Amino acid sequence: MITLAEMEIQYKDILEGIFALLPEDWRACSMAICLASVQPDEDVPAFRVVELSPRLTEKFRDDIVIPFLADLHKKWLSADQEL
């Protein structure tokens, strides 16, 4: 079982790995869209993968994920982002 504090540490490690890629490489990475939720009385979130067509997944990556990552990366480099 993983705690929320451990998830935060893993999240930071994951972001460091993502930011190590050049922005051009973000399009070459495989991508899965996942949702997570946690109830007030639960410690472990429930995760589900969202099934999308390849075309919709590509559009989601290009229109939402890459701009979000680029902005987050900029904030990360300027140390204005707290995770």
41 or 22, which is more confident?
41
pTM tops 0.75: no
Where are the domains positioned within the chain? 4-77
**Average confidence (pLDDT) over 2-25:** 70
29-75 tens-digit pLDDT: 778 888 999 988 988 889 999 998 989 988 988 898 888 888 887 87
Checking if the pLDDT of 24 tops 70, the result is: no
20 or 7, which is more confident?
20
Cα–Cα distance, 63 to 78 (Å, whole number): 23
pLDDT of residue 23: 65
Closest-CA residue to 37 (of 27, 47, 29):
47
